[in-house]
Structure 1
Amino acid sequence: MKMKNLEKFSGAIKRCVAIAMASMLFATTGFSLDTHPVKAQEVSSSADKIEIPEISKDAFKKYKKISGIGANTILGADFTYYQQCLEWGKSYKNYMSQSVDNIFDYVKSQGINTISLKVAVNPTGENAYLSLENAIKTLKAVKASNTNLKTNLVLLYSDEITYAGTQNLPADWEKAEKEEQSVTRVESAKTYTRETIAKLKQANVLPDIVTIGNEVNWNFLGITDGEGWEGWKAMGDISALLKKEGVKNAVSIAAQPDAASVKYIVQKLGYASVDYDYIGVNVYPDNNTNSYIKSLKNEVESCAPDKQLIVSNVEYERVNEANTANVYTQADSIYNLLEATIDEKNGMLPFR
């Protein structure tokens, strides 16, 4: 399932903003959540009007601090589009429409503790924003900000964004596999991982976490035979490479229809010796999202108590039931998700 496409909106609201920003005013630390940014020129298209938020520093006092949030949890924002935003000359503003001079200082002050970036193998055209070069620029900017923000690099192992049913192999890997029988997609993936880590080390921006794949659904690297067993094994080999570099691992899986199914995925990861610290799930919200994530968290705790569940991506509409766009719409949605799923067990693995 692909992210819902949002039509372009022209006007004063053309600002590059992360969905989470309006909601961070109620949290002082993090939760295992990573929000997906709206493109710089995009706002939800179906709104009849844009509602001006309450211009007051007290506007978000209605949100009580959520118990269970601790220093070991993760609250992330996806900055994959950041370099593209800079190229377009977009600027950042807070919920009171005040200019934000340093976006990294700002998100840190609002509770964000982790910046996430997605990277494709050889992205071109409209996917060019997914380049490793862009990610390195952003990682350098995060480091230069001296905010101590952690970083999570999501390796897509594709030339484009991957989804549950779409794990397209990079064009060059597919060609090499067809033309040279000795070159397998698994070998290409391991070589790519080594080369990427080398480039990150050379730039002195090795991330705190590397996520292996995005929204994998028994089909990592497009491998589906035997419930994707060779794909799970490839994840194990890649995790071993990353651990040697001292990088924490995460795996990003597709949300299964039944939360209990995560047990079978955890089992596969164990059989394949995937040495991961975090298991992330991408969420496409509906009326059952909060209860589903709570069930999913309980299932992970029951079968993998040493792992931490992360909502690795979530995108909420900016339009409320009155067909009006404002900062509170997403703030309410994200707050309710946090409140429904956080407890003291949520944060298990501290960053060091």
Structure 2
Amino acid sequence: MKNIKDQFYCIAIIGLFFTSCNSQIPADQNPMLPPTVSTFAKGADVGWLPQMETTGYKFYDVDGTQKDCLQLLKDRGINTIRLRVWVNPNDDKASGHCSKEETVVMALRAQKMGMRIMIDFHYSDSWADPGKQFKPKAWENHSFSELLTDVYNHTFDVLSALKKVGVTPEWVQVGNEIPGGMLWPEGSTKNWLQLAQLLNKGYEATKAIDPKIKVIVHLDEGNDNAKFRWFFDNAKANNVKYDVIGLSYYPFWIKKDYTETIVDLENNLKDMASRYDKEVMIVEVGGEYDKVQNTYEMLAATIKAVKAVPNNKGLGVIYWEPEGEKSWSGYSLSTWQSNGKPSTALDAFKE
């Protein structure tokens, strides 16, 4: 048996070896180190990606080389991945999946590539947005008190599963596009007191996992200052707890070119940051896939608007499903071409 001095010497040599090896590997490529945190988040929501791969969809670089979609995104400046979570989703190609288990696998994969992670809780079995905030089927007959427990437990459960594999998201969204509230009818904005309690349960569960995770509350139509003031004035009056105001910005759905609304978006970002003393972030943005130059310019202008928020309170911009090419998804606001290659619209993230 070696004496204590010999054992100490061996341990010291081994420690120096690993320290030396790690120092030679860039942080964003080293699985032994956490992802490098960049100042500005340039992101992609890629909830469809696992299904696209499972159905055989192939991704190619501009030179025709087949590549991992995440690598293609990273090569264009993307450093953040946003993933939606549904409670008990079905297996529909475009409107299902995104379960806890699938989210854990995808988040770990993205983190290993040096990506920062955002988790978007819909608190539904499928899409939740301004027009629909349906309770998960398993929660349909629950009392309001039970719904509070449901929100806490579901949030805590998903984040615990992520933490177990070494992933702690940088951001967590409590609800998705909720200008009318969530978990209708109990969590509707017609009953702010109850909505506030539900949002706070998501906040509390998140902070119980890690107090450093930033909690986002998210609305659509980021250019509409009146909508945002109304919502967040009510949130303040009802003591809603959150860290970041998340905004969607889709000129296509507003039915105006971005040039008509980008100033309103910038002004709203600045107003939210100052009025509520919060950080702000575009958590969803999108432009038409077949109007590449316009989408590029819109994205560049959106990034510029967020960076213009004083005191570094503009955190970043996330493109929603850039890889969701229309022939597979039926969605017209991706940045992918029919030949499986990314369009130059994504190059706005390189700047």
Q: Which has the higher helix share?
A: 2
Match of residue 203, structure 2, among 222, 234, 239: 239
Give the superposition deviation at 1:340.
4.5
1-side partners of 2:152 and 2:45: how far apart? 25
Give the superposition deviation at 1:228.
3.1
1-side partners of 2:263 and 2:314: how far apart? 24
Asked whether 1:167 is paired with 2:164, we answer no
Asked whether 1:117 is paired with 2:70, we answer no
CA contact (8 A) 1:100 1:106 kept: no
Q: How does 1:258-337 map to 2 (within 5 A)?
A: 258-285=224-251, 286-287=256-257, 288-305=260-277, 307-320=278-291, 327-337=292-302
Count of aligned pairs between the two proteins: 268
Find the structure with the greater CA-based Rg.
2
CA contact (8 A) 1:190 1:237 kept: yes
Give the TM-score taking structure 2 as reference length: 0.68
With over 3 angstroms needed to count, the CA separation of the structure-2 counterparts of 1:328 and 1:172, relative to structure 1, is same
With over 3 angstroms needed to count, the CA separation of the structure-2 counterparts of 1:198 and 1:249, relative to structure 1, is same
CA contact (8 A) 2:82 2:118 kept: yes
CA contact (8 A) 1:120 1:158 kept: yes
Deviations 1:282-311 (CA, angstroms, capped at 9, x unpaired):
223122331231121122023123x22212
| Amino acid paired to 1:83 | P
1-side partners of 2:266 and 2:144: how far apart? 45
2-side partners of 1:173 and 1:162: how far apart? 15
CA contact (8 A) 1:318 1:329 kept: no
Asked whether 1:130 is paired with 2:98, we answer yes
Unaligned runs of 5+ in 2: 1-36, 317-351
Give the superposition deviation at 1:217.
1.3
Deviations 1:251-292 (CA, angstroms, capped at 9, x unpaired):
112337841332332233334443322211222312233123
SS in 2 for 1:251: strand
2-side partners of 1:345 and 1:91: how far apart? 41
| Amino acid paired to 1:293 | L
Match of residue 43, structure 2, among 63, 66, 76: 76
SS in 1 for 2:64: coil
Compare relative contact order (CA 8 Å, sep 6+) and give the higher one, 1 or 2. Answer: 1
Give the TM-score taking structure 1 as reference length: 0.68
SS in 1 for 2:132: coil
Asked whether 1:249 is paired with 2:211, we answer no
Asked whether 1:188 is paired with 2:150, we answer yes
Aligned residue for 1:41?
A: none
SS in 2 for 1:299: helix
| Amino acid paired to 2:280 | L
Unaligned runs of 5+ in 1: 1-69, 321-326
Give the superposition deviation at 1:208.
1.7
| Amino acid paired to 2:173 | T
| Amino acid paired to 1:289 | T
CA contact (8 A) 1:236 1:269 kept: no
CA contact (8 A) 2:128 2:177 kept: yes
Match of residue 109, structure 2, among 120, 132, 141: 141
Q: Percent identity?
A: 21
| Amino acid paired to 1:328 | Q
| Amino acid paired to 2:293 | Y
Aligned residue for 1:39?
A: none
Match of residue 89, structure 1, among 41, 48, 56: 56
